[in-house]
Amino acid sequence: DRYLELIREAVRAVEIPIIGSLNGVTSEGWISYAKGIEEAGADGLELNVYFFPTDLSMEGRLVEERCLEIVRAVRSEISLPLAVKLLPAFSSLGNMARRMVEAGAQALVLFNRFYQPQIDIAELRYLDDLELSREGETRLPLFWIRLLRDHLEASLAASTGVESSREVIQYLLAGADVVMTTSALLREGIPHMKRLVDGLREWLESREIDSVDSIRGLLSCGRLSKAEPAARARYIDILQRYPARTEADR
């Protein structure tokens, strides 16, 4: 299998940990391939739990249980550190995150995205294109990382909208243990990774901060009391201060 061979090549080529990534919809398929990734020499495994429930009769609890079943099944068969990449669509995301950890996830990646095809109004068809994530998509994962940081016995990885070192810093302040990016590297090339790291280093040095650990989780909700009322009050305050446009402005 080409992907397993790629993992073997990567393990031989670099000294940093290699994390395998696995997509699937049934526990049977996940287990056999997860074992293959472990045997290929990966240092960890990310499960990309991508299940799109198109059956309108399927209740939310059944969707959740199906995802948890996959995590339990894979966890029971491999010894690798296990991360789960979550969609933000669960009705009680915090509870689902906790149950994922109880099922065996040692880390959570926030967030995966549903494939959202666009419509071509000239050709009257769906476009088979891929929309890469952008900077403005960081707000939702920032919110949940801030909230979950101090309530889970698991690592948190941020994985949406990282374009520059600015987003890296924001995610770390919110409480991410690691920050991931793919879209920026596809757009800018692999050398862009150095710019992200250099930008983070310069920001830390400009504030005479010794390490990333010193800022990680500095702005998490765990540093505040009564996070939910505080968030609601802040939201109302922002709405009240937003400058409304008048007819004269148009």
Output the pLDDT for position 230. Answer: 63
Q: Is the pTM of this model over 0.95?
A: no
- CB–CB of 141/160 below 8 Å? yes
Output the pLDDT for position 73. Answer: 92
Q: Per-residue pLDDT averaged across 93-116, rounded?
A: 93
Does the domain at 2-222 match CATH 3.20.20.70? Answer given as yes
Enumerate the H helices of 78-151 as residue ranges.
Answer: 93-103, 139-148
Using one digit for the tens of pLDDT, what is the confidence trace for 149-171? 999 999 999 999 999 999 999 99
Output the pLDDT for position 246. Answer: 56
- CB–CB of 105/82 below 8 Å? yes
CA neighbor of 38 nearest in space, from 51, 15, 55, 22? 22
pLDDT surpasses 60 at 179: yes
Domain range annotation of the chain: 2-222
Q: Per-residue pLDDT averaged across 42-61, rounded?
A: 86
CA neighbor of 176 nearest in space, from 191, 157, 195, 154? 157
Using one digit for the tens of pLDDT, what is the confidence trace for 2-13? 999 999 999 999
Output the pLDDT for position 27. Answer: 66
Using one digit for the tens of pLDDT, what is the confidence trace for 108-123? 999 988 777 889 899 8
What is the C-alpha separation between 45 and 30, in angstroms, rounded?
Answer: 11
CB neighbours of 60 closer than 8 A, spacing ≥ 6?
A: 90, 91
Please, which pLDDT band fits residue 249 given cuts at 50, 70 and 90? low
**Cα-Cα-Cα-Cα dihedral of 60, 82, 162, 176, to 10°?**
90
Using one digit for the tens of pLDDT, what is the confidence trace for 191-204? 999 999 999 999 99
Which pair of tokens denotes residue 192? 């862009």
